[in-house]
């Protein structure tokens, strides 16, 4: 599903003074704990390849906070392939505490000014801070209008990250003696949306926060001297923390770290949790565990759900001419499990070129070029076969159409039956996934707000030019992730949003779709339309 992107990922490290040196930091030492950050960011590079950056704290520098960020991958930004240049960058950034970020844009433009972390310099150390976040504020326009309307305020960037920056700055100005957690708690009362956030100030205080419904993932670990946190557990596991030491940050919770220790604070009333189901389906690294649920095992169970439905329908001959082929890489676990239950081979009929790089061409053409560059059909595997092609989801269908054509023409497949390990995507996301209008989605044009049935799937398959198409039903998702549906955000497959402004934006999206005004991202439309919905 290379046509869909997440917004970003965050990471943080803090080496506390301790009699016992953390063995995980033995090769860098306390004052250079920040050296661990680039490797953590590489582990969550799947969450964004547009830009990367980090901010470090060092009390022995005149520049107490130092930020390095740029457009590019982690390897490009931190010059990992050039030893001398990488070491020079990291020596400048040396410090016991650091936060970092990888980015893909769902809000704002694709230039260096939007790379995170965002730093706010100030003469007072408690007001000098840097922060980064993963997510999106659904009420971005309302907050933006309020800021620009009240007083002589100016926003330099069109992004909700800057909104959060100014909201925090305003609270620090209003209540200069407030504790950092109280400052965030006061600002967060105005936030409607999804976020995991890392903040570092010039007093050497680190703060992490997760939205009240836990829509975005965030986890942490602490061994007594080294504290680390990241959007995904794989970054902590690869530092050397044991799986049992890695814990999810509870929704509505801040974690504060300074030289005196680590403390946890509830900053917001916890509503019903609404973890984003797409994290397990697609976004997260397959080696990660999110909120105590394994990504790999969840995807395996999705494949078992596909197999269960396939066996019940008995539509395709499961003989020696039939093979299961995953769309690399996120569909592999589901495809393996499906094939195992069906007792037929799972073959790698599509090979992904991991070195094809990023494309800078926008729109559908970019997705077609990207699919052609990234996936090569193996004729030796596909020729003359009845292929069950397993995909994690279909969003816009551009990539799927290109793949089907290549599998048939270059691969020589006799039949192609698409099986999607996800229900149809029928509604936009306003919480940090790059799909914000109804018009760009594939399924709604066939459904007309109705439910999917055999006839709808037949018409969709005909339009895609495959022999058949089957989606998973909505209730399969909760079973696969092993969480109640009431604890998941499934808005893009149910049209039911977990926050008030999410539901308002959906009404705006529907109105604009009906009026043919759906070309702009819904959350970038003016707040008058939102308020009147």
Q: Which of 351, 333, 249 is nearest to 294 (CA)?
A: 333
Q: Predicted confidence band at 519 (pLDDT cuts at 50, 70, 90)? A: low
Q: 297-354, pLDDT tens digit by residue?
A: 999 999 999 999 999 999 999 999 999 999 998 999 999 999 999 999 999 999 988 7
pLDDT at 6 over 60: no
pLDDT at 429 over 60: yes
Give 287's strand partners: none
Distance in angstroms (rounded) separating the CA atoms of residues 470 and 417: 8
Distance in angstroms (rounded) separating the CA atoms of residues 432 and 330: 19
The set of residues, in sequence order, having a beta carbon less than 8 Å from that of 524 and lying 6+ positions away, is 107, 141, 158
Q: 353-397, pLDDT tens digit by residue?
A: 877 654 433 455 555 666 677 899 999 999 999 999 999 999 999
Contact present, 489 and 277 (Cβ < 8 Å) = yes
Residue 13, φ and ψ in degrees, nearest 5: -135, 150
Give the H or E element holding residue 468. strand 468-471
Contact present, 446 and 459 (Cβ < 8 Å) = yes
pLDDT of 525 reads: 52
Among the residue ranges 172-181, 201-210, 368-377, 465-474, the one predicted with the least confidence is 368-377
**Comparison of pLDDT for 521 and 220, the residue scoring more:** 220
Segment 462-487 mean pLDDT: 97
Q: 213-268, pLDDT tens digit by residue?
A: 999 999 999 998 999 999 999 999 999 999 999 999 999 999 999 999 999 999 99
Q: 28-49, pLDDT tens digit by residue?
A: 777 889 999 999 999 999 998 8
Q: Predicted confidence band at 532 (pLDDT cuts at 50, 70, 90)? A: very low
Among the residue ranges 77-86, 283-292, 364-373, the one predicted with the least confidence is 364-373
Query: What string of DSSP letters covers 211-276?
Result: -TT--S--EEEE-SSEEEEESSHHHHHTTT--GGG-EEPPTTEEEEEETTEEEEEE-S------EE
Measured between alpha carbons, how far is residue 349 from residues 21, 259, 327, 517 in Å? 49, 53, 9, 40
Q: What is the largest CA-CA distance in the chain?
A: 73
Q: Is the entire prediction scored with pTM above 0.75?
A: yes
Q: Is the bond into 329 cis (omega within 30 degrees of 0)?
A: yes
Give the H or E element holding residue 374. helix 363-374
pLDDT of 107 reads: 46
Domains with residue ranges and CATH for the chain = 8-271 (3.60.20.10), 293-486 (3.40.50.2020), 499-533 (no CATH)
* Catalytic annotation, residues: 8
State the chain's mean pLDDT as an integer. 90
């Amino acid at each position: 599903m290379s046509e869909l992107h997440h917004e970003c990922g965050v990471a943080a490290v803090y080496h506390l003074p301790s009699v016992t040196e953390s063995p995980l930091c033995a090769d860098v030492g306390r004052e250079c704990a920040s050296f661990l950050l680039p490797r953590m960011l590489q582990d969550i590079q799947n969450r964004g390849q547009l830009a990367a950056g980090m901010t470090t704290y060092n009390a022995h520098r005149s520049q107490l906070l130092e930020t390095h960020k740029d457009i590019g991958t982690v390897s490009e930004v931190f010059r990992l392939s050039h030893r001398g240049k990488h070491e020079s960058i990291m020596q400048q950034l040396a410090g016991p505490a650091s936060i970092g970020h990888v980015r893909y844009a769902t809000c704002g433009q694709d230039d260096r000014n939007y790379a995170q972390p965002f730093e706010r310099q100030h003469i007072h150390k408690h007001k000098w801070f840097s922060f980064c976040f993963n997510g999106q504020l659904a009420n971005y326009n309302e907050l933006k209008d309020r800021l620009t309307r009240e007083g002589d305020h100016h926003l330099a960037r069109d992004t909700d990250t800057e909104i959060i920056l100014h909201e925090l700055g305003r609270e620090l100005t209003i209540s200069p003696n407030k504790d950092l957690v109280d400052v965030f708690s006061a600002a967060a009362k105005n936030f409607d949306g999804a976020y995991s956030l890392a903040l570092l100030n010039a007093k050497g205080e680190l703060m992490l926060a997760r939205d009240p419904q836990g829509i975005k993932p965030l986890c942490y670990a602490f061994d007594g001297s080294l504290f680390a946190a990241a959007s995904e557990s794989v970054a902590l596991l690869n530092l050397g923390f044991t799986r049992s030491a890695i814990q999810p940050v509870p929704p509505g919770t801040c974690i504060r770290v300074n030289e005196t220790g680590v403390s946890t604070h509830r900053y917001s009333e916890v509503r019903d949790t609404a973890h984003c189901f797409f994290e397990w389906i697609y976004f997260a690294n397959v080696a990660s565990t999110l909120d105590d649920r394994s990504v790999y095992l969840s995807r395996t169970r999705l494949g078992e759900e596909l197999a269960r439905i396939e066996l019940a329908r008995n539509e395709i001959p499961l003989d020696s001419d039939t093979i299961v082929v995953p769309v690399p890489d996120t569909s592999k676990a589901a495809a393996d499990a499906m094939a195992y239950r069906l007792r037929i081979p799972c073959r790698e009929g599509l090979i992904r070129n991991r070195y094809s790089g990023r494309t800078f061409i926008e729109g559908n053409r970019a997705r077609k070029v990207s699919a052609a560059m990234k996936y090569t059909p193996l004729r030796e595997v596909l020729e003359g076969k009845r292929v069950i092609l397993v995909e994690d989801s279909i969003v816009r269908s551009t990539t799927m159409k290109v793949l089907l054509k290549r599998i048939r023409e270059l691969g020589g497949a006799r039949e192609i039956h698409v099986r999607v390990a996800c229900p149809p995507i029928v509604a936009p996301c306003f919480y940090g996934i790059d799909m914000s209008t109804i018009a760009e989605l594939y399924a709604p044009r066939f459904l007309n707000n109705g439910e999917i049935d055999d006839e709808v799937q037949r018409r969709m398959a005909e339009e895609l030019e495959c022999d058949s198409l089957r989606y998973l039903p909505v209730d399969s998702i909760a079973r696969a992730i092993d969480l109640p549906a009431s604890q998941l955000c499934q808005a893009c497959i149910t049209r039911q949003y977990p926050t008030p402004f999410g539901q308002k934006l959906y009404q705006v999206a529907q109105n604009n779709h009906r009026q043919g005004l759906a070309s702009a991202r819904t959350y970038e439309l003016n707040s008058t339309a939102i308020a009147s919905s």
